[in-house]
Structure 1
Amino acid sequence: MGCLSPKLPPIGVVTSADVLRPALLAVLGGLVAAASVQPVGLWPSGLVGAGFLTLAWWQARSRPARAVAGGLWALAMLLCTTIWVIDFQAVGYVVLALLGATFFTAAGALVPTGGTWAGVGAAGAITVAESLRARVPFQGFPMGGLPQGQAAGPLAATARLGGTTLLTLAAALFGAALAEALRRRPLQAGALLLVPVVAAVLGSVAAPGEQVGSLRIAAVQGGGPRGTRAVETAARDVFDSHLAASRTIVPGTVDVVLWPENAVSLDGPTAGSPEGDEMAAEARRLGAVLLVGVIEDLPDNRFRNAQLAFAPDGQLVGRYDKVHLVPFGEYAPLRELVSKLVDLSLLPRDALAGTGPGILLGPGGQRLGVVISYEVFFGDRSRSAIRNGGQVLLVPTNAASYATSQVPDQEVAAARLRAWETGRDVVQAAPTGFSAFVTPDGEVTQRSDLGAQQVLSGRVPLRTGSTPYLRTGDQLWLIIALACLALPGLAALAEGRARRHLDPPSDP
């Protein structure tokens, strides 16, 4: 009597079980990875989460199943790490997460899963997807991703060599090593660990730059309620709170005073306005350079978001207009079309983008690198400032619109990564927090309390010189990540050709 055999699906047919098992593992991995991102900030969970995604891809027996797993992993992560978007637009929150997930869906469809180099291919796929998410569309949206969750971990040092692209690759390789270890393949696991470990060691010993002096810098935080919209807040109240905090600084005790983004909102140009006169008077009182975040209304329902510099004699001597604007925060892409689909009442006008690097001058001509708010999440903006002579990096920002600490915490994490990349000290000022001082090695030495009126101050080293990241940027490492993605397939082709060359021809 013959044995009964299980009925197998036809070759090429994708079953529900084929999709479900890796999909569940991917969702679990995305949730675990989300715990690495601030405010939770458990950096090891990001490595474990990347390992879960790698395992999910390896378990999936078809390309569609791997695509679904990749998309679900990213969706689970981003829905947790970008909850703050709901404060502005619930529909946008879902759309933004789905948009980010499409890159990982494509990565899953492309990732090779067989052979010795499968772990390298998976790490390359994760890195390429994360890098593209940070760049397109609308100049990208990097918040809430895998590299940000590593800001407090040892792999953050890799950013000095290759920015967040190398950091993502290192974290993904570490995750692939964990996946190989679970498959009881210690040699492969050890080989995958080699790159992130070596890169972290090299990054930690790479010099941040030569110190050439110092400045006494104060970061002013006006304080006040959180979770409020600009349209619901009296501009004069915000200005007065920062002026009051600034006036607690004893004249002659600081060289530079940094006010946050949006500390002043005006109906027109700063020059000749009453607020401009008051800021000039405060600079004279302090005997220091006063850097103030100002919103200036323009004709045709536009506005500028700028950081202005007042010299110790009260003269308005410089400005940097924000270049990298927040889509659907400072401007509405495709406004006419989008307005028919969602409510844009909270964004009635669009900002006008600036150009060039963010550089302002200190009291002795020192070059102060500046990135405004959202720009701190983009390594290219801080890189531009420092490559143009920035000796310190200043981050005026504003996260007062968010009721929770999610965005302020993520801004501090981004500032830590920019410090690693540039080898410069970072000083951040925010109206209601977090204001912070960060060393070139990513250590937060001072951090304000949310909602409090505070002034943080300290002597900050000025540095010159380049880090490896400042010299190479992200492009080189994105090419390397693409090579990692292609490596398993290329290796399989080479192995097949070698086998055909060695196998003797069969008899006719």
Structure 2
Amino acid sequence: MTAAAPTSPTTHPSRRENVSRAALALGAGVLVAMALPPWGFWPLAFVGVVLFDVALGDDPARGRRFLLGWLFGAGWMFVGMGWMIQLTGPGYVVAGVIFGGYHSVAAGLAPGGPWRILGRPALHTLAEALRFSFPFGGVPLASMGIAQVGGPFAPVVGVGGVILLTWIVFQLGTLMSVMWASRDRLSRPPTSILVWSMSAAVVGVITLSFVAPDGRPTGDTLTIAAVQGGGEQGTSALDVPSIVVTERHLEATAGIEPDPELDLVVWPENTIDVVTFESSDIAQSIVDEAARLDVPISVGLTEDVVIDGRRRFTNAQVVVTPDGEITSRYDKVRRVPFGEYVPLRSVLERISSAVDRVGDAVPGTTPAILELPSGEKLATVISWEIFFGGRVREGVELGANAVINPTNGASYTGTIVQTQQVASSRLRAIESGRWVVQVAPTGFTAFVDPDGTVVQRTAQSEQRVLIQEIEMRTGFTWYTSLGDAPFIVALIGAALVSMYFGGRFGWLTRRSRA
């Protein structure tokens, strides 16, 4: 590969060069997307970042940086978030434009010259951190962390979560590009100082990730049966009556043989849809199965509620004991925009009646944890919440010994969401040092160990029960103790330093290249 020739702000590149750079930036974004499940493998993300830095060049004009940054982000987001078309076509377009815009701003603000070694990785990582939280609470799918969970750098999330792992990818990719394109200046400051300093920082973080604490076993175990009722993918509650879903899971549960070693049965999200669960016939069926197996059953249920004269619904996971008591309940806190509520509903209702198909879930207010009658605590993140590291972290801080992720991806065709969710469960396992149990009505249901290894996983649409003995664990990883804030602050500092020196002393770096 031959790197594009550096272009100073005073040089006007040809139209052909502009088109080539634009195509390279767009293709670089697509390569990052192709590193994501279900398509690619982790090295493609590094190739994408290297090519993006090559497309930007050494010191391009600011306007061109904005354009190339947007093309990079758009190539990444429009492919990696293709699942969103099934949720909301207009929302998919808007999200792609906005999130591509985050990388446009990052590229525009990052300095050229040697200080890009510090600035570009920091600013593009901050663009991803912003995407994880804004707007509408964030959309943390198609992330660098998800793309890297199968690679050798995944343990970094135990130190600083997905944000630190994202920085590793951008920093290494930028360093590789600079060391190739600017090898004639590697012995001159500030290029040499920045290259060696950032290389040392990357090596230091990776080294720390292999010696950092990852929790410890309590000495106790829990044997869990994760129930997947099966059924066709690409269906919604309007296509398949909720009672059919419930009956499939009752049928699968009925196939579990009583076993004194069994401690808990877990059903997926939304497998029961009733007005009031406790007084329903379905509740009695669950109690009967719990009594037959002599273990509690944790079920995902949707209940209708009326608030201020408007019909809404709750999305909860409860623990039902063999004697019929509900001993613990968690209501989903983070709702799916355009799936469980409609942002700016009053405005969008004037544009399209399609928003009427989306109900309004009542957000939960309780901590992300369920407690079993035997005393074990399970960090509980429902569906969408598994993509947010902070939700699992909250449960672990409250003493959770393992994590459960009841989910429902039955409405999505293909496997983009499902495979990215398994990858997110793997990230949460490493971040927290806990086993993660993901259970879905039509797939994928999986057990993930604290190292992020998928120990068992179902196929799509099949009816199957996975049974696994998991280790109860305690203790904190550094990410559990620190969260994201220290790393975001450090990235902001690095970005500001690069922008200050790259702008204020740009004349010095340009003179050293002369």
Q: Normalization by structure 2: what TM-score?
A: 0.90
**Identity value in percent:** 36
> 1:163 is matched with which residue: 161, 164, 172?
161
Counterpart in the other structure of 2:4: none
Q: Which amino acid letter does the alignment assign opposite residue 237 of structure 1? A: V
Determine the C-alpha separation between the residues in 2 that align with 1:247 and 1:205.
45
Query: How big is the shift at 1:60?
Result: 6.0
Q: Deviations over 1:66-116 (max 9, x none)?
A: 01111111111111111111223222211111121111111111011122x
Aligned equivalents of 1:288 and 1:366: distance in 2?
13
Map of 1:255 onto structure 2: 263
Structure 2 counterpart of 1:240, one-letter code: E
Taking the TM superposition and a 5 Å limit, the aligned residue runs for 1:36-435 are 36-59=35-58, 61-115=60-114, 117-185=115-183, 191-212=197-218, 213-251=220-258, 252-266=260-274, 268-299=275-306, 300-345=310-355, 347-435=357-445
Give the distance between the partners of 2:9 and 2:238, measured in 1 at CA: 61
In the alignment of these two chains, the number of paired residues is 490
Give 1:348 shift.
3.6
Counterpart Cα distance in 1 of 2:329 and 2:373:
15
| TM-fit CA distance, 1:327 | 0.3
Separation in 1 of the partners of 2:177 and 2:455? 36
Going from structure 1 to structure 2, the CA distance change for 1:346 and 1:198 (only over 3 Å counts) comes to farther
Q: Secondary structure at the match of 1:141?
A: coil
Q: Cα distance, 1:344 vs. partner?
A: 2.4
- 1:328–1:347 Cα contact (<8 Å) kept: no
Deviations 1:319-347 (A, max 9, x none): 10000000001000111101223452573
Query: Structure 2 CA distance, aligned partners of 1:452 and 1:197?
Result: 44
In structure 2, relative to structure 1, the CA distance for the partners of 1:24 and 1:215 (3 Å cut) is: same
Q: Deviations over 1:239-271 (max 9, x none)?
A: 0101111111122341011110011111x1211
Give how far 1:184 is off.
4.9
Gap change, CA 1:60 and 1:80, over 3 Å in 2: farther
What secondary structure does 2:277 align onto?
coil
8 Å CA contact 1:178, 1:189 repeated in 2:
no
Query: Could you tell me how far apart the structure 1 residues matched to 2:181 and 2:13 are?
Result: 24
The 1-side partners of 2:167 and 2:255 are apart by 46
Q: CA deviation at 1:349?
A: 1.7
**Correspondence for 2:512:** none
| Cα distance in 2, alignment partners of residues 23 and 234 from structure 1 | 48
Q: Residues of 1 paired with 2:497 and 2:214: CA distance?
A: 33
State the distance in 2 between where 1:453 and 1:9 align: 61
* Secondary structure, counterpart of 2:451 in structure 1: coil
Out of 461, 464, 473, the residue aligned to residue 463 of structure 1 is: 473
Q: What are the Cα deviations for residues 174-228 of structure 1, in whole angstroms up to 9, with x where unaligned?
A: 1112212321536665654433343233223323212111101111100010010
- Of 490-499 and 357-366, more deviation after overlay is shown by 490-499
Task: Indicate how the Cα distance of structure 1 residues 473 and 33 shifts in structure 2: closer, same or farther if over 3 A, else same.
Answer: same
Contact 2:338 2:358 in 1 (8 A): no
Structure 1 match to 2:451: 441
Q: Which runs of 5+ in 1 are unaligned?
A: 1-7, 500-508
Instruction: State the distance in 2 between where 1:498 and 1:112 align.
Output: 13
Secondary structure at 1:226 match in 2: coil
Q: Which amino acid aligns with 2:406?
A: P
Shift of 1:457: 1.1
Residue 426 of structure 1, CA deviation: 0.4
Moved more, 407-416 or 39-48: 39-48
Cα distance in 2 between the residues matched to 1:348 and 1:454: 30
Question: How far apart, CA to CA, are the structure 1 residues paired with 2:352 and 2:101?
Answer: 21
Residues 13-45 of structure 1, C-alpha deviations (whole Å, 9 max, x = no match): 897567534322210100111111110141111
> In the alignment, residue 175 of structure 2 is paired with which amino acid?
A
Secondary structure, aligned partner of 2:313:
strand
- Cα separation, 2, equivalents of 1:492 and 1:80: 33
Unpaired runs of 5+ residues, structure 2, are: 1-6, 187-191, 510-514
8 Å Cα contact 2:409/2:440 also seen in 1: yes
Contact 1:222 1:453 in 2 (8 A): yes
Q: Which amino acid aligns with 1:284?
A: A
2:354 match: secondary structure: coil
Aligned 8 A contact 1:287 1:313 in 2: no
Cα deviation code 1:111-161 (max 9, x no counterpart): 11122x321211001101010011101111111122221111111111000
| In structure 1, C-alpha distance between the alignment counterparts of 2:117 and 2:9, rounded to whole Å | 29
Equivalent pair of 1:14/1:62 in contact (CA under 8 Å): no
- Write the deviation string for residues 267-286 of structure 1: whole angstroms up to 9, x where unpaired: x1211111111112221112
Distance 1:305 1:338 in 2: 24
| Correspondence for 2:189 | none
Instruction: Measure the CA separation in 2 of the matches of 1:12 and 1:177.
Output: 25
Query: Does the CA contact (< 8 Å) of 1:216 and 1:459 recur in 2?
Result: yes
Secondary structure at 2:468 match in 1: strand
In the superposition, the TM-score normalised over structure 1's length comes to: 0.91
Deviation at 1:165? 0.7
Deviations, residues 476-500 of structure 1 (Å, cap 9, x unaligned): 111111122223234447868999x
Aligned equivalents of 2:94 and 2:486: distance in 1? 31
Q: Distance in 1 between matches of 2:250 and 2:210?
A: 40
Cα contact 1:329–1:347 (8 A) shared by 2:
no
Relative to structure 1, the CA distance from residue 340 to residue 362 in structure 2 (aligned partners, 3 Å threshold; closer, same or farther) is same
